[in-house]
Every structure is written in C-alpha cells, then in structure tokens.
Amino acid sequence: MKRILLISAALLCLCASASAQQRPAPSLPEFQFTTVKAAPITSIKNQASSGTCWSFSAISFLESEAIRLCNIQDEAKYPDFSEFYVVSTSYKERAEKYIRLDGKLGFSAGSGAGDVFDVVRNHGIVPNAEMTGMNYGSELPQQSEMDAVLLNYVEAVSKTRGKLSTAWKRGFDAVVDEYLGKAPETFVVDGKTYTPASYRDAMKINPDDYVELTSFTHHPFYTWFALEVCDNWRGSQSYNVPIDELMAVLDNALENGYTVCWGADVSHPGFTRNGLAILIDEQATAAGSDQERWVGREEGKPAPIKIVEGNPTQESRQFEFDNKTMTDDHGMHIFGIAKDQDGKKYYMVKNSWGVTGMYDGIWYATEAFMRAQTLDITVHKSALTPALKKKLGVK
C-alpha cells in the first residue's frame, strides 16, 4: 500500500509514483466509547519509519486468526509472528519480477495484504523472536536507507544488456539479509522444532481460506479482478461486490467473532492522529450558532461543534477512485464494534503506529468513513454472508 506523509507518522505505505498530503482536520470534541463486540488481538506494534503497514496489518490479522482457530485462551500464549520475514521474502521475489520485466514494475517498500498471503502460502510463518528485522542498529524500523539501496541495486541490474551475471540475485538477497536478518530454516517453539511451513500449519493458517473483497464499478460486480494500484505488484485478485454487500460482510464477520484486514485511504482530514476516523463534511460541519458567527460567543465558553458526515455512495466511491482522491494509503486491522456516548456505531481498528493517540493505538472509524474510504477487506471465507458464500461456492 502507498505511503503518505502524516503529522503523526513519518512514513506510511508509499507508492513509488505518488504520495498524498493529509489535510488538517477540524478540532473535534472528545468521545467516550463503549465496546459492543471485540475479538482478541495481539499487542500494538510500531512500523515506525517503514512502509510496511501491509505486513503489520495482515500479520496482526493472522495472529488473531491463529488465536481463534487454535482457541488460545491465555493472552500470554498469543502468537507474535514476524512481519519482516514476510517483508524480506516479498522484497526478494519482487526483485526477480522487476528484473524479468526490465524495470517496468513499481519497486518500493509498499505492498498489499495479498502479498502477505502469497508469502505465507509459499513459505510459511516464523515467530517474531526468530526474525525481528532489526539488524541495523535501530530499535524501531528505519527503512529508508535499505529501500534506497535495494531500488538502486535492481535499477542497475535491469539496465544490464545481454546476459545477467550469476551473482546479482545472491548479492540482492545478501543485502536484504544484512538489513533484516537471515530467515531461519528451523526454530523451536515450546520445545518443538518447526520449519516456517510446519509452523504455519500448526497455527492452522490456510491462506486459501481467505477472500479479499473490493467495491468499484469499473469492473462488473461478482467478478474477480486485480485492483489497479501500483503496490499490487503481484496482481492479487479481489472479488468485486456492491458496497452494501461489502459492509454486510464486515458486520457479519465482526458480529460473529472474526476480525478483518483493511486497506484504506487515510488522507481524508477526518482520519486524525489521535485515533478517530470520521467522514467529516467540512462545509456542513461548523462550530457555534449563526449569532456566534457574526458577534462572537460568550467569553470563556467554547464553541460547540456539530459534526456532519458525508453521504458516500457507490458512485462517489468510483469518482474518488478515478479522480485519485481515494488512494491506496494504509493497511490496518479491524477487530470490533463500539458505540459513542450518543449511541453512534464505530469500528474498532488496530493501527501499527505504536501505542499512541487518545486510545493507545486504537482508532475508531464511523460507518460513513468505512463505506467511503475502503479499498478492500480480507476475511476468512466462513465470515462471508450466506449470499456471498453461495455466489462463491463456499461451504
């Protein structure tokens, strides 16, 4: 997914061809949230200065899936999978494709959830303790140097005329290994030896059990297509459904104890650095009365803010996507439903910016924001609505 520059995070998921600046959000009132339904999640992580939200979000999702599938009740035994095992493997495979395509491929730290599922399917999973990715003298991810080195490396190789050397791939892999650490072939968990593939199977993760959904009208509904964003370098396929049906799957999943991997646009001013995601209609949202507008308000009294949200439609989603004002920015993990002090519904979102904001790394997103800003969601096939299960032939 494409990185964008935000006030609170140095980097998100950067698309090689473009970036977006978040507009400043209006001042919002304080909210009090009550959890309605929430599935277990692992601890909040921090992607810091790396464009790896796609790995952090999908790995967080798979950790919750392992908790659910293995019926892990003790939080102390919750899994902690390595994000950078996936990043390392992805970068190596992306380099091969980049060279095969003579450099006609986006090459950056950004990617998508489908990339994670391909890596897990073909290679497996390893515990974070076996590969933290912090092999370059930093406590938190600081990837800009590595990203620049790797891009220059493949650009140079792609310009080679004639037969390539037998060393380029070994050299590329060695650079990745020096920065992120070498992936383990075997490791021990609770006294048992695993390979990445056998550990994946022990965690009951089957990548073929997951379905990615999207909702756009430039492809027919109820067909598969590869979402046209530059970080979808593998061409991962999404199933295209009307936005009402996508939202129905989201609700069905959360209400039945599943979690959801979420790809979204977060450049909207209502996505704040403090943990809120509200589809603010800036023209309709105003502070105070008409009297206050012209003569001011009583001294010492703050202006009340009435938040008015936009009304997203299938047509407005398509317009924003085609107009490049809805872009592939950030990956997160949705795990629950909450309500505010007025009873309004919100989705509980685990972010990967560390324990920050008003809610310690959790964001609360309205239905309108979710409906307007969602690029795609990934769910276990069992979390699909009965109607979609029938269309997809899922039992």
DSSP string computed for 113-139: HHHHHHHHHHT---BGGG--S--SS-S
Between residues 13 and 281, the one the model is more confident about: 281
Rounded CA separation 383/110 (Å)? 27
- Bridge-based pairing of strands 330-339 and 34-38 is antiparallel
**Cα dist from 322 to 92, 217, 218, 228, whole Å:** 32, 10, 9, 11
- Bridge-based pairing of strands 305-306 and 330-339 is unpaired
pLDDT of residue 298 exceeding 90, the answer is: no
Domain limits, the chain: 34-392
pLDDT mean across residues, the chain: 90
pLDDT in tens, 35-61: 999 999 999 999 999 999 999 999 999
CA-only gyration radius of the chain, Å? 22
Question: Tokens for 337?
Answer: 């439903």
pLDDT in tens, 76-91: 999 999 999 999 999 9
pLDDT in tens, 258-272: 999 999 999 998 999
Q: CB–CB of 274/358 below 8 Å? A: yes
Handedness of CA 39, 43, 49, 55 (dihedral sign): negative
Q: CB–CB of 181/135 below 8 Å? A: yes
Q: CB–CB of 328/265 below 8 Å? A: yes
Which residues face 336 on adjacent strands? 38, 348
Residues 6+ apart with CB under 8 A from 305: 26, 27, 28, 29, 285, 286, 287
pLDDT of residue 22 exceeding 90, the answer is: no
pLDDT of residue 292 exceeding 50, the answer is: no
Handedness of CA 379, 382, 386, 391 (dihedral sign): positive
Where helices occur in the chain by DSSP H, the ranges are: 53-69, 83-100, 113-122, 144-158, 168-180, 196-202, 243-255, 290-295, 314-322, 367-373, 386-392
Q: At 21, is the pLDDT very low, low, confident or very high (cuts 50, 70, 90)?
A: very low
The predicted structure's pLDDT at residue 305: 59
Determine the distance from the C-alpha atom of residue 109 to the mean position of all C-alpha atoms in its chain, rounded to a whole number: 13
Which residues face 63 on adjacent strands? none
Residues in the chain: 395
pTM beyond cutoff 0.85? yes
Assigned CATH topology for domain 34-392: Cathepsin B; Chain A (3.90.70)
Rounded CA separation 253/380 (Å)? 8
**Mean per-residue pLDDT, 171-178:** 98
State whether residue 193 is helix, strand or coil.
strand
pLDDT in tens, 191-242: 999 999 999 999 999 999 999 999 999 999 999 999 999 999 999 999 999 9
Query: What is the residue-wise DSSP string for 224-267?
Result: EEE---TT-TT--EEEE--HHHHHHHHHHHHHTT--EEEEE---
Between residues 292 and 390, the one the model is more confident about: 390
Rounded CA separation 105/96 (Å)? 11
Percent of the chain past pLDDT 90, that is, above it, reads: 84
The predicted structure's pLDDT at residue 308: 83
The predicted structure's pLDDT at residue 307: 80
